[in-house]
Structure 1
Amino acid sequence: MMLAALLILLLSSSPSPATGDRWFCSNANATHTPNSTYMSNMDSLARSLIAGATKLHSATGTTGTGSDRVYGAVLCRGDSTGADCGRRLRDAFDGFFNHDDGAGAAGCAHRKDVALYNELYHLRFSDQDFLSTFSNSPEWVDATNPNLVPTTDDEQFEEAVGELLRALADAAARQPERYAADKGRWPSREGHRTVYGLVQCTRDMPSERCRACLHGVMAERREKIGDGKMGGAIHGVRCSLRYETDTQFFTATGKLSLQLAKRVN
């Protein structure tokens, strides 16, 4: 009986963030209580935004008034399916933002300004208006493959990565989905190798805002990830990028993926 009761408790508990998730919070003085109007507004906004992102991969919005006003943004990576996107976002919100004991977000429990990043999804909710300013903060920098290319190949490698990401940024800014993924070649001394890249903005961003945001994280890439690293990512609230050497980490969608190869080979 005790074992059965324990099993039921485990199955009914809200999940904690998955391994690899990164959370951020700010302003320790700006907090809410579990049954507060702010929390109720955040729950309501989250349900609305998750429904929108399930259809369109990202959604932004706000609800409430005065000190209980909540601003939010959620995003699923552009190669995810709608049902999978919605499930991941719901699990992340329930496991992170509704964890009353703070176990899923030690140090961030009940903060008003919180963000959660995963390779496949992002969420941010705040009492500060980060939407109208198109702020990309906070950013999660992840050296996904810290191995270095040979020193003799470093210059060619960085040129290839930069060219691929610039082409993807221009493609994403032109697409309603604000998403693009593709591959390029770099002529290493071991022979031609492949670099895969992905960029994405939230769908509500105007074309030039999306392009400017992506160019901003591209400008940070070498300093924050490091020269010659074979894989890395910068995830932000408004835009993100990732590249990997010899590893296709995204699913080709047919429409937006693998269409730039001739331009970047």
Structure 2
Amino acid sequence: MSSKLFIAFVLLPVLLICVCIEAQAPTYRYHFCSNTTSFTPNSSYQSNLNLLLSSLTSNATRDIGFYYTRAGVLNSTTEVVYGSFLCRGDLTPELCQECVATIAKDGVQTFCPLGKIAIIWYDECMLRYTNQSFLNRMDEAPRVSMWNIGNISDPTRFTQLLAETINGLVAPASNAPSGAKKYAKKEENFTDFQQLYSLVQCTPDLSSTSCDTCLRGAIAQLPGCCTGKQGGRVLYPSCNVRYEIYPFYTVQAATPPPAPSPPSLLLPPPPGSVTRPDQGNNDQISPLTIVAIVVPIAVVLFLVGCIFLKRKTRKKYDAVQEQNGNMHEITTVESLQFDLATIEAATNRFSVNNKLGGGGFGEVYKVTVI
């Protein structure tokens, strides 16, 4: 296979998947608000909280994807508010800031409008604040366990692969140097057509020992919630772990090796023939023609899939939140998968009646969302 064909068939779909992941708006997952502490509207605590949220948002473009600060004057009559955010390790500074701003602007008012203590988890980031300092402190509560309701084939072998992979990520994440992200991810082949994607992360203010303890504690919760499931995660205030059978983080495309040049076979021209530079054979389909045909189709399929990822949820997640030994079941939604049958149904099997036109990326179809 030539390098051009490799790019068309292998790298292009991977790159389009990454675009789909990054194009989605921040996705809410869960929140915790203390029901024992609240502040009075228009109080000094609310004023300091507003200052804190503004500071967190403005500092969300830091490369480390983490920031801790406080608002209010110590040893004064006003109430000091402490807060931080943590963005998923693969996010760009722009996407990190988008997630933090979404929580600060909408999440706080929606989920914890009067809470002095709050943690709000999105797929892309986490934001927390409280009336007590928590810098350099490992917190394992409250914790949330979530799992995909889809079952995995061959759960015994899958569980063994997951345990080896995700435990192997603890050391690289916890031993990250000071000032760096405490984050690690890895892809492993489960079957010829299915991969395992795993990620672990701590807040960078933790020591290596605290991060190691936090991650191993979170991983220890996975068997109780997620054995035999296609995906699962455990969320702590100070760390989190997650695995899926689809890429929920940005996957770096591998650089293809240079394609070897085909051997040349030189034959003498037949008698009476005239030699000239090869101008190509118009009667044959060249590899470039194949690429020109396949690439537009691939682009259309993946872009239509991205629309479905944004517009329609198809998989559900069950979740359990544990606080002080009490378990609370919740249900939330998850969708990062689509199939060809769904796309064909949405376009009426790529009917001419649904065709809107064409361009540099190929033919464009109207999609009917059910």
Give the TM-score normalised by the residue count of structure 1.
0.75
1:59 equivalenced with 2:67 (yes/no): yes
- Give the letter aligned to residue 104 of structure 2: F
Q: Residues 192-211 of structure 1: CA distance to partner in whole angstroms, max 9, x if unpaired?
A: 84211011111211122111
Confirm or deny: 8 A CA contact 2:86 2:125 kept in the other structure: yes
Q: Aligned pair in 2 of structure 1 residues 80, 166: CA closer, same or farther (>3 Å)?
A: same
Question: Which residue identity is paired with 2:93?
Answer: G
Q: Aligned partners of 1:26, 1:208: CA distance in 2, in Å?
A: 28
Which structure dedicates a bigger proportion of its chain to strand? 1
- Counterpart of 2:143 (choices 139, 142, 164) is 139
| Higher RCO (CA < 8 A, seq sep 6+) | 1
Cα distance between partner residues in 2 of 1:80 and 1:18: 11
Determine the C-alpha separation between the residues in 2 that align with 1:26 and 1:81: 31
SS at match of 2:213: helix
State yes or no: 1:95 paired with 2:95. no
SS state at 1:148 partner:
coil
Aligned match of 1:211: 212
1:180 aligns with 184
Give the AA of the match of 2:83. G
Q: Deviations over 1:193-246 (max 9, x none)?
A: 4211011111211122111111110011111x231111011122211111012x
Tell me whether 123-132 or 202-211 shows the greater mean CA deviation: 123-132
Cα gap change, 1:51/1:205 in structure 2, threshold over 3 Å: closer, same or farther? farther
Give the counterpart letter for 2:187 in structure 1: K
Aligned residues: 223
Mapped contact 2:26–2:123 kept (Cα < 8 A) = no
**Residues 25 and 115 in structure 1, CA contact (< 8 A), matched pair in contact too:** yes
Q: 1:96 to 1:172 in 2, by over 3 A?
A: same
2:121 is equivalent to residue 120 of structure 1: no
Cα distance in 2 for residues equivalent to 1:162 and 1:51: 38
Aligned to 1:148: 151
Aligned twin of 1:229: 229
Is the CA contact 1:135–1:238 (under 8 Å) kept in the aligned structure 2? yes
Read off the aligned partner of 1:248 and give its amino acid letter. Answer: P
Matched, 1:47 2:54: yes
Pick the aligned partner of 1:74 from 71, 76, 85.
85
Q: Which 4+ runs in 1 deviate beyond 6 A?
A: none
Q: Distance in 2 between matches of 1:253 and 1:37?
A: 46
- Aligned positions of 1:151-170 closer than 5 A: 153-170=154-171
Q: 1:52 to 1:211 in 2, by over 3 A?
A: farther
Indicate conservation of the 8 Å contact 1:59/1:203, yes or no: no
Residue 37, structure 1, aligned to residue 47, structure 2: no
- Specify whether residues 48 and 19 from structure 1 end up closer, same or farther in structure 2 by C-alpha distance, changes over 3 A only: closer
CA deviations 1:96-151 (Å, max 9, x no partner) are: 22x3xxxx22xx431101111111111111113444531132223221x222224x
Contact 1:79 1:253 in 2 (8 A): no
Asked whether the equivalents of residues 75 and 122 of structure 1 are also in contact (C-alpha less than 8 Å), the reply is: yes
* 1:144-168, Cα deviation, whole Å (9 max, x unpaired): x222224xx3222111111111111
Q: Which of 23, 30, 49 does residue 31 from structure 2 map onto?
A: 23
Closer, same or farther in 2 for the Cα pair 1:211/1:140, shift >3 Å? same
Measured in 2, the distance between the counterparts of 1:137 and 1:46 equals 22
SS at match of 2:60: helix
Return the alpha-carbon distance in structure 1 between the equivalents of residues 130 and 252 of structure 2: 33
- Given that residues 168 and 198 in structure 1 are in contact (C-alpha distance below 8 angstroms), is that contact kept between their aligned partners in structure 2? yes
Query: What amino acid does structure 1 have at the position aligned with 2:60?
Result: A
Gaps of 5+ in 1: 1-16, 255-265
SS of the residue aligned with 2:215? helix
> Whole-Å Cα distance in 2 between the matches of residues 49 and 170 of structure 1?
29
Question: Which residue in the other structure is 1:248 paired with?
Answer: 247
Q: TM-score, normalised by structure 2?
A: 0.55
Q: 1:132 to 1:76 in 2, by over 3 A?
A: closer
CA spacing shift, 1:136–1:60, aligned 2, 3 Å: farther
Whether the 8 Å CA contact 1:123–1:237 is kept in 2: the answer is no
CA RMSD, Structure 1 to Structure 2 (Å) = 2.4
| Fraction of identical pairs, as percent | 30
Q: Secondary structure at the match of 1:41?
A: helix
